[in-house]
Amino acid sequence: MSEWVNLLDPLYLDGFSRRQQGPVDATPTPIPAWNRACGDDGGKVGLGRGWFVTIGGNPKFGKSLIALSLVYEALKHEDVAVLSLEMSHYQLAARFYAIATGTPIDTLEKGSGFDVPGFEQMWGTLRSKYGVERSVWVNDFVLFRLPEIMAALNALRESGVRFFIVDYIQLIGMGDDDSVARTVAETAVSLRAFAHEHNVTVVGLSQFNRTTSSNYIDSPRCQGLHGGMALEANSDQIILLDHSRYAKDEDKPHLARSWLIVDGNRHGPSGDIPVLWDYRTLQIREGLPDEENEWPRHGKRTSAT
């Protein structure tokens, strides 16, 4: 019976009490309302250990930017790994450097616009923040099979990484829609088991299915993820980027307003969070209470608190 626990055993009760009074070990997000929605092991501080979190959104609506913002926040406390099935490490690096330092992204991208003095200033900012103590690991080889993904996760974990991004889940494996759905289900189970067994945090990025991705009238729901039930059932939290409530700023076209939907949350409330995107630096922040009248809406639900 070593793999079972008796909830009424006095030794278990004593251990439970001591554990619940211990310090919170969670990774903050860049969005305060999202942090407050992270109960249980998240301690209303951030994403808890042992959690598998899914971020869903349409292409070009900010999934990777949210993930890299999480990387920036996590890096303040620990090493981070990004397993990218979509972008090269050069593309990820430019985006991460912009987010971490507020450097305009167009001065970091390849070509005649690359700003060498600006890059050197950015590098100095990074060095002053992290020195050489922190690492952001990104694959320099092609990943698309689940066994390869799991082997890479385990190797990184053995090197000390405890916060992982997988970008994005539907690119694991190949085939028709039915084959992709089966692979998504297997992937969701595997990532959840990995996070739980090793007490690490895994964030997987996901596309919507065709019906949800083409619907610009209604807010998306977790049932609209490509792979649907498997991701919904295995995720500790599901965060959705609402493409139906998205608007560029008329006076400052590099700014856009939209909503994050905290959905399928096992550890706290669900609800909507207003966010402001700055496409010049790729940074994101939560909308302030006195700004919410500036955000697009169509019957907004209760905000997560």
Q: Which residues pair with 81 in a beta bridge?
A: 137, 164
Element (H, E) at 226: none
Q: Which of 79, 59, 94 lies closest to 214 in space, CA to CA? A: 59
3-state SS assignment for residue 142: coil
Domains of the chain: which residue ranges?
48-294
Q: Which residues pair with 285 in a beta bridge?
A: 276
| pLDDT tens-place string over residues 14-55 | 999 999 999 999 999 999 999 999 999 999 999 999 999 999
Judge whether 33 and 239 are in contact, CB under 8 Å.
no
**Non-local CB neighbours of 64 within 8 Å, separated by 6+ positions:** 86, 87, 92, 95, 167, 205
CATH number of 48-294: 3.40.50.300
- Measured between alpha carbons, how far is residue 172 from residues 66, 134, 137, 257, 290 in Å? 20, 28, 19, 31, 42
Residue pLDDT tens, the chain, 305 long? 568 999 999 999 999 999 999 999 999 999 999 999 999 999 999 999 999 999 999 988 999 999 999 999 999 889 999 999 989 999 999 999 999 999 999 999 998 789 999 899 999 988 888 777 889 999 999 888 999 999 999 999 999 999 999 998 988 876 666 777 888 999 999 999 999 999 999 999 999 999 999 999 999 999 999 887 889 999 999 999 999 999 999 999 999 999 999 998 999 999 999 999 999 999 999 999 888 789 998 644 444 55
**Non-local CB neighbours of 151 within 8 Å, separated by 6+ positions:** none
Burial of 302 (0-12, 13-18, 19+ CB in 10 A): exposed
Q: Which residues pair with 84 in a beta bridge?
A: 167
Q: Which of 142, 238, 230 lies closest to 186 in space, CA to CA? A: 230
How many residues appear in the chain? Answer: 305
Cα–Cα distance between 58 and 140 in angstroms, integer? 25
Cα–Cα distance between 148 and 192 in angstroms, integer? 16
Report the pLDDT value the prediction gives residue 295, as an integer from 0 to 100: 93
Number of H helices, E strands in the chain: 9, 11
